[in-house]
Structure 1
């Protein structure tokens, strides 16, 4: 399912986060029930193949828990990246948010001046994600290029030691709560 939409201001992020947390809460309630009524094999099967999770932005749509976890943290990272962009670069708003397999950079300014890639991972080097995202954003025509990531053990803020060429690399809040 493609998820691409415009975010006009920082207030809209609260509504998106609320949807995401509603899906997490619904999954938690479902797990409480599933744990007591299923064998470990059945529960793990539901976690992997579906029936134990929900789409992060549509709690009515079933999704396997592995995908829900991956998407939820990527979406949260995107929302946190937008908070930074609205705070630091509000003049470039509105921003287009491309979640999942939607084409384009993960975040783009509607005027075309900014492009950003966003990810959540155990480490920025996992699967060469940081390197791949830097290369992806370098291929855009945007003047401002970012890679935002959510990983444990990084302080919130710019990470100059990870930057290449003109790409600004920024660690996001959230991962250290894990």
Structure 2
């Protein structure tokens, strides 16, 4: 499912976050009930292949928990990046959020002046994600170019030591501090 939409303000952003947390809560309830009635093999099978988990933005749509976890943290990172952009670059709002496999940069300003890539990982160097996202954002025509990441053990804020070729790099709320 392609997920591309405009976010106009922090209020809309908070509504998206609430949907994500509702899906997490529903999955937690599901795990709690399944854990006592299944063998470990059956439970893990349901987690991997379906039967436990929901779409992060639609708690009525089932999704395997592995995908839910991956998508949830990528979406959270995108939401946290939008918080930074709404605070630091208010004049460029509204922003287009392109989640998952939607085309375009992960976040774009509707006026075209900003492009950002966003990811959540164990480390910025995992799978050369930071390097690949810098290259991707450099290929845009935007004046302001960002890569935002959510990884454990990074303090929130700009990471000048990781920046190159005019791409601003930001660490988001640490994965260990949610």
Q: Tell me which interval the TM-score lies in, with the shorter structure as reference length.
A: over 0.9
Q: Which residue of 1 aligns with 2:115?
A: 115
Deviation at 1:176, TM superposition (A): 2.5
CA distance in 2, matches of 1:86, 1:177: 21
Q: Which residue of 2 aligns with 1:83?
A: 83
Q: How many residues end up aligned between the 2 structures? A: 178
Q: Which runs of 5+ in 1 are unaligned?
A: none
4+ residue segments displaced more than 6 Å: none
SS at match of 2:170: strand
CA distance in 1, matches of 2:62, 2:177: 26
Residues 131-174 of structure 1: CA distance to partner in whole angstroms, max 9, x if unpaired?
00000000000000000000000010000111111100000014
1:116-131 maps to which residues of 2 (within 5 A)? 116-131=116-131
Deviation at 1:175, TM superposition (A): 1.0
Contact 2:153 2:174 in 1 (8 A): no
Contact 1:154 1:176 in 2 (8 A): no
TM-align CA RMSD: 0.7
Q: Which residue of 2 aligns with 1:144?
A: 144
Q: Which residue of 2 aligns with 1:173?
A: 173
Contact 1:74 1:119 in 2 (8 A): yes
SS at match of 2:36: helix
CA distance in 2, matches of 1:60, 1:147: 32
| TM-score of the two chains, using structure 1 as the length reference | 0.99
| TM-score of the two chains, using structure 2 as the length reference | 0.99
Matched, 1:37 2:37: yes
CA distance in 2, matches of 1:96, 1:114: 10
Q: Which residue of 1 aligns with 2:13?
A: 13
SS at match of 1:37: coil
Q: Which residue of 2 aligns with 1:51?
A: 51
Q: Which runs of 5+ in 2 are unaligned?
A: none
Matched, 1:24 2:24: yes
SS at match of 1:98: strand
CA distance in 1, matches of 2:78, 2:32: 29
Residues 96-153 of structure 1: CA distance to partner in whole angstroms, max 9, x if unpaired?
0000000000000001000000000000000000000000000000000000000000
